[in-house]
Every structure is written in C-alpha cells, then in structure tokens.
Amino acid sequence: MESVLSKYENQITIFADYLEEFPDTDDLVWILGKQHLLKTEKSKLLSDISARLWFTYRRKFSPIGGTGPSSDAGWGCMLRCGQMMLAQALICRHLGRDWNWEKQKEQPKEYQRILQCFLDRKDCCYSIHQMETAQMGVGEGKSIGEWFGPNTVAQVLKKLALFDEWNSLAVYVSMDNTVVIEDIKKMCRVLPLSTDTDGESPPDSLNASNHSKATSACCPAWKSLLLIVPLRLGINQINPVYVDAFKECFKMPQSLGALGGKPNNAYYFIGFLGDELIFLDPHTTQTFVDTEEDGTVDDQTFHCLQSPQRMNILNLDPSVALGFFCKEEKDFDNWCSLVQKEILKENLRMFELVQKHPSHWPPFVPPAKPEVTTTGAEFIDSTEQLEEFDLEEDFEILSV
C-alpha cells in the first residue's frame, strides 16, 4: 500500500480550466453567504477565504487500523473536503460566520478545540482514522484507501456526529433529492433541561401537562443542524439548467458550500465569481501535526494563504453535495423560505422541499447514538458498531 501511495506524496492537481488570479472586474464574489466587491474589497475577500480551515493530505500519521496506510495521499481528498465542510459548520456554531482568523494571533479556545477534532489521530472524533473506520462500516465492503463520493462522506459525517457530545450537531442527509421539513424538526427539537429525553424529539405539539413541566422555556430547544443535500445534476456532466440554482445556494447565509469536483479528485467549493466556482484544494501533502506540550495546535498549515483556485461551473462533475448550517430554528425557517423563493421557482428543480414525510417512504426515525461503553472522541474501535447503518452511494439522476 505504501509503495502505491508514495507516488502521490507531492501531488498537486492542476487542470487547464483552473484560474488562479482574480480578474479586474466589478462583479460580486460570494463566499459562504457573504458578498465581496472584488475591485474594492480584494484583501477582505482573501482574508475571508484564508480564515476557512483547510484540510489536505497528510503523511507520517499513525497507521490507520494499526497496520494500514500512514498517509492519505492519493485517496483521501473527499474525506478532507468533508472535514472542511464540517469544520465550517463548527466555526459557525461556536464562533459565528463573521469570525476571522489572523496568522500568529491568539485564537479563542473554541477554535483550538474545533481544530483538535480533526487531527490525524485515532482519538480525535473527525480524524481520517475515524472517518475511514466509519467508511468500512457503511461502505459495503470497500477497503481502506479506496476513494468515495460526496454522498458516502455525508453519511460518514452523519454517523460520527452521533458520538460528538461537545458539538451536539443534528446531521440530516436528504434522500431522493428531497428535504423533509417535518423530519428535520422532529430531529432537531429537543426538550430543554431533560437528561431523559436529551437527543430525542418531542411530539409536534406539547399538551398542557407537558407544557407545564417543560420549564420556563416552554418551547423545545433546537439542536444545531448540519443539512447535507447530495445531488446528481446531470448524467455525464452538469446540466446548465441547474447552474443558477446551484449558485444561489452559495448566497444563502446558511451556506456551507459544496463537495464535488472531478472524478476521483474532490474539492471543497466555497463560493463563485460569475460562472467560476471558487474552491479549496486538498491535493497537497503536508506532514502530520499533533498537539504541542501546552495542548495547543500549531495551525499555520491549516489555512490556505495562497490565492484560491477557480474552475468553470460547467466543468464540475454532476455528483455533488450541498451543505447548510442552521444554528437556530429561525435559521432553518429562513432557509426554507429562500429555497422556496430561489430554488423551487425553477421548472426543473434541483431538489424538492416538502412539509410532510412522504407516505410511501419508511417511517422517519431520528438517528441515535449506538450503545457503547466509551464516550467523547474515543468512540469507534471497530466497524461492528456501524453494521446497522446502510448506505447507497448511487444518486437519483434528475430529469434532463
């Protein structure tokens, strides 16, 4: 395995349709729900992009599974993109979308804790080790070192989040190009100050007796939502009819960007300029970074300080996964309104948003943490804990 991976150690993928320098234009640039005027706010734009956590190939970490690869070069790009999308959700949850990063400046403790969730160690909750173990459990026989698509990575994040008590995210991965409002609210609404029902969904409405027992905060609390919408926007290439709707998603304040790219080459798309998508590229191999003696992480290699790459949207592979973060219920309600206004107005819809759970679907059961004896980051020691999860990497092809 190591001999096969060694040739990828210094891989940096370059395509002729990638453009690095921003043009001199009056056009707006959209980055994860925020707009920048390129001509007058270029430094602010580059600062916003460099603040995103950047996860790339790493080498010299402890072998996955004890005897597996010690580098993910050549096969881990989609996992790294999934890490970037999730990290952006955690940044929004703990620090807010407007938080910014500055080189060699002391950062909030929450930032350091978020970063430690992704270190390449078995005991870190979203490490390459944990994601690979989860993939083996849900990936229908695929082995360590195989490449996975955006839908698979979305399912892996959904499973791993069940063990992450600090961030306490509800992860919803849509099925059949359909987002069901009823199911999401069932999953995200939790009764406050209740250890017995924490993580469970309350009924749609509380009766008078339950209402009086639910503390002064009479309404259910909201569990922060990571919403992932896997799609296939064409057969062999993206259908131009979806371009405008796809770009609209980057304008939404809830946007976490998109996972996608080229076959076997994944990228984390964070915005657009005109018809060019802006993305962070994980195809650079860096050395494993661990915590220092004081418990902090040197974060200099976790931010991309170079000008971001771009590619024409029509060169995008049609298999993608959109991401959104809704910290509060009002954020989700606002997202639903934006989808109805900007996405569902099209004759050929990119995806559907429905109020009620479709009657022909199996009943919706909010995902729950499996019964295990460990907690926190020390959670998956074998694939047996994940055998109950099913996974389909295939996408429903939208009408063209």
Q: What is the DSSP string of 111-134?
A: HHHHHHTTSSSTTSTTSHHHHHHH
pLDDT averaged over the chain? Answer: 82
pLDDT(17) > 60:
no
Query: Does 148 reside within a domain?
Result: yes
User: Quick one: tokens of 163?
Assistant: 């063990």
pLDDT(377) > 80:
no
Average of pLDDT values for 287-296? 89
Q: Which residues are catalytic?
A: 77, 281, 283
Query: Does 83 reside within a domain?
Result: yes
pLDDT of residue 22: 74
Task: Determine the Cα–Cα distance for residues 264 and 146; give it in Å rounded to an integer.
Answer: 10
**Least-confidence region, from 253-257, 259-263, 322-326, 329-333:** 259-263
Query: Does 255 reside within a domain?
Result: yes
pLDDT(388) > 60:
no
Query: Does 54 reside within a domain?
Result: yes
Query: Does 290 reside within a domain?
Result: yes
pLDDT(72) > 60:
yes
* Residues 203-239 pLDDT 10s: 443 343 444 444 444 567 999 999 999 999 998 889 9
Task: Determine the Cα–Cα distance for residues 89 and 164; give it in Å rounded to an integer.
Answer: 14
Q: What is the pTM of this model?
A: 0.83
pLDDT of residue 40: 80
Task: Determine the Cα–Cα distance for residues 279 and 371; give it in Å rounded to an integer.
Answer: 38
Query: Does 5 reside within a domain?
Result: no
Distances (CA, A) of 221 to 92, 189, 192, 350: 18, 6, 6, 31
Average of pLDDT values for 291-297? 87
pLDDT(182) > 90:
yes
User: Quick one: tokens of 331?
Assistant: 């954020």
pLDDT(1) > 70:
no
Query: Quick one: which of 60, 37, 64, 59 has its CA closest to 48?
Result: 37
Query: Does 4 reside within a domain?
Result: no
305: containing domain = 26-190+222-354
Total structural domains in the chain?
A: 1
Query: Does 152 reside within a domain?
Result: yes
Q: Which residues of 378-397 are buried (b: 16+ CB within 10 A; e: fewer)?
A: ebbeeeebbeebebebebee
pLDDT(4) > 50:
no
Question: H/E element holding 91?
Answer: helix 77-94
pLDDT(13) > 50:
no
